[in-house]
Amino acid sequence: MSLFLLLALGCADAPVPVQPPPEPVPVSAPLDSVVKQSAPVPDAAPPGDGSDTVFLVPAQDGWLVLGCLDLAARAEEATACRARLPKRPLVAVADGGTLQLTEALPLHCPTTEDTVTGLGPVPGTAPPPVAWWPPRPAPFWLAGARSDLRSDRVPEVRKAALEHFHALGHTDAVWQDLEIFRVSRGDLDHDGQEDLLAEASLPTKDPTKPRPTALFRVEGSTSLLTAEGLETRGRVELAGAWDPGRGSALLLLQSFWTEGMGSHLVGFRDGEPILLGQWVCGP
178 DSSP 8-state letter: -
Distance CA 188, CA 126 (A): 28
Contacts of the segment 84-89: beta carbons below 8 A, 24+ positions apart: 84/54, 85/54, 85/119, 85/133, 89/119, 89/133
Q: What are the tens digits of pLDDT across the range 172-181? A: 888 888 999 9
Any idea where the domains of the chain sit in the sequence?
53-140, 143-281
Q: Is the pLDDT of residue 36 over 80?
A: no
Q: Is the pLDDT of residue 226 over 90?
A: yes
Q: Is the pLDDT of residue 1 over 90?
A: no
Distance CA 157, CA 150 (A): 11
| Residue 156: predicted pLDDT | 96
The amino acid at residue 154 is V
Of 166, 50, 118, 80, the residue nearest 263 (C-alpha)? 118
Give me the DSSP letters along 156-169. Answer: HHHHHHHHHHHHTT
Distance CA 118, CA 225 (A): 27
Q: Is the pLDDT of residue 111 over 50?
A: yes
- Enter the pTM of the model: 0.80
CB 184 within 8 A of CB 197: yes
The amino acid at residue 146 is R
Distance CA 7, CA 147 (A): 69
Whole-number average pLDDT of the chain:
83
3-state secondary structure of 262: strand
